[in-house]
Amino acid sequence: MTATFTATYSPEDNKLRLYADRRLDAETYARVKGMGFKWAPKQELFVAPRWTPDREDLCVELAGEIEPEFTTLAERAEAKAERLDALADKRQAQSSAFLRAADDLSQAFHMGQPILVGHHSERKARKTQERMHNAMDKSVKAAKSVQYWQWKAAGVESFANMKNSPRVRANRIKTLLAELRDLQRDVNHAQVCLSIWQKAETEDQIRKLSRAHVNGNALVSWERAKELEDGDISPQDFRTRCIESAKRAINSPKRRRWIDHILNRLAYERDLLGPVARYEGELSPVILQAFAREHGAMKPSAKAVPEGFALESAVPLPLHIASEKTVTLSADDWRDLMQSVGYTVPEKKDAKPPILNFRAGGQEVVAASGNIYGRKDTFRQIELTKEQYSKVYKEVRGTRLSACGTFRFKICKDPTSKEAYYMRPWVAVFLTDSKEHPAPESFKKQANAA
């Protein structure tokens, strides 16, 4: 009699679970194990470490449909913690039992009774001593395992709480967006390859493109290019095969399912993190380009038009944004689209203080505290040309914030020093062939106070 299956999916941990009402036959068991499902004996189910299209297809084939998981992550963690606590209690009882047995055996050596060597009782006494030591060792081992299982139980509950924390959920959203960009990047590259191969007509062009790279990626695999070089395939057949391969990558239903799955997971995670606020600030091309880039568009470019804003890309935009290379929407429609996919416009960062190039007039330039003791650093100023400054290693040059916090100034390890590099002092730099700024008022006050 064949088993009856129930399949579930939990968006909390992105896992598929397969329940069977009886033992599986050898063929079905091999298929389930081959797809990466593992048997969880305590829960009496098969669980896959993560969702994939193939695993979903297997679950649908066996169970007919995939239902939402019956238990939440917190409930599963609580059940596992209870099992681990029960194990800890069991080990505690075993430790106590072994301790009592060792105590009973120790009565044979009450008041320091020694083992009488050569006496007829020696053999029995040594056997009793060995049993006593074994019981004590088992008691100690069981007592140690009590702490281990208690620690595991606490860890399970802590892990469940951590998975539901807003900070971890926000990081999970970033990871999902990175996966979305990776998938879309493959589609974008296939679009580029399709455009290039469709324009290639002559045999020389085809042979040249077989070893070409675009944006760091090959237009065709090394194995396929070798077939052309070895004469195993004609240039026109090679071109036709490359075009078909690019179209398969673009229209791959499995990749489309991956993208849809990630978009659904993003919607789920964002919903639990809190509603996405609609952006009501002033919309700009830079904001739209950042939005499109985060969602996998290839080199997006936006501009203001009378109808609102137009966004275009070198290849068709991601399907959840548009299905063409160019899309024009009003400002309100762009705000609605960004909100619907859960995009939050990053808050504008405060501008850093300007870098001033001024003469210190023999005075040291004081920087803001750069150490835990609050001690301010002072820098003697030297004069260099831009060329001389550029020759200083990048690792030993940069900028520092002034003590007043209103400006920054260039610093580097003194290139005029004859000492070893690690011994050279840090100095402030005035570039003689760059625009000279007037000394800031805060620096003048500092100089007068000195």
DSSP codes of every residue in 374-400: -PPPEEEEEEE-HHHHHTS-GGGEEEE
Number of structural domains in the chain = 5
Q: List the pLDDT tens digit at each of the 450 positions of the chain.
A: 678 889 999 888 889 999 998 888 899 999 999 999 999 888 888 999 999 999 999 999 999 898 887 666 666 666 677 777 777 778 778 778 877 777 777 776 665 666 666 666 677 777 777 777 777 777 777 777 777 767 777 776 676 666 677 787 888 888 888 888 888 888 888 888 888 888 888 888 888 888 888 878 888 888 888 888 888 888 888 889 899 999 998 889 999 999 889 888 888 888 877 777 888 888 999 999 998 888 888 889 999 999 999 999 888 888 788 878 889 999 999 998 888 888 888 887 778 899 999 998 888 898 887 655 556 788 999 999 999 999 999 999 999 999 888 999 999 999 989 888 888 999 999 999 999 999 888 887 776 655
Q: Are the beta carbons of 428 and 367 closer than 8 angstroms? A: no
Whether residues 318 and 331 fall in one domain: yes
In a domain, 350, yes or no: no
Specify whether 83 is located in the same domain as 158: yes
203 in any annotated domain: yes
Q: Are residues 372 and 434 in the same domain?
A: yes
Say yes or no: 304 and 248 in one domain: no
Helix, strand, or coil here: 217? Answer: strand
Among candidate residues 130, 163, 196, the one where a domain is terminated? 163
397 & 436 share domain: yes
Which pLDDT belongs to residue 229? 85
Task: State how far the Cα of 204 lies from the Cα of 214, in Å rounded to an integer.
Answer: 18
Q: For residue 355, tell me if it sits in a domain.
A: no
Instruction: Report yes or no on 359 lying in a domain.
Output: no
Which of residues 111, 139, 163 is at a domain's end?
163
Write out the two tokens for 251.
């229209």
Same domain, residue pair 80 and 120? yes
On the 0-12 / 13-18 / 19+ scale of CB atoms within 10 A, 202 is exposed
Per the structure, the complete domain to which residue 133 belongs is given by 75-163
237 in the Ramachandran plot: left (φ > 0), alpha (ψ -120 to 50) or beta? alpha
Token digits of residue 104? 């009973």
How many helices (H) and strands (E) the chain has is answered by 13, 15
Structure tokens at 82: 């209870």
Q: Which residues contact 174 (CB under 8 A, 6 or more apart)?
A: none
Contact present, 106 and 132 (Cβ < 8 Å): yes
**3-state secondary structure at position 277:** coil
Q: Does residue 179 fall inside a structural domain? A: yes
If asked whether residues 106 and 119 sit together in one domain, one would say: yes
| Residue showing tokens 């091999």 | 30
Q: Write out pLDDT tens, residues 86-114.
A: 777 787 787 788 777 777 777 766 656 66
pLDDT at 112: 63
Q: Are 401 and 435 in the same domain?
A: yes
Q: Tell whether 42 and 110 lie within a shared domain.
A: no
Q: Which of 107, 129, 163 is the last residue of a domain?
A: 163
351 assigned to some structural domain = no
Backbone angles phi, psi at 259, to 5 degrees: -65, -45
19 in a domain, yes or no? yes
Task: Please write down the long-range contacts of 142-148, taking CB distance under 8 Å and 24 or more positions apart.
Answer: 142/91, 142/92, 142/94, 142/95, 142/98, 143/91, 143/92, 143/95, 145/88, 145/91, 146/88, 146/91, 146/92, 146/95
Q: Is residue 327 part of a domain?
A: yes
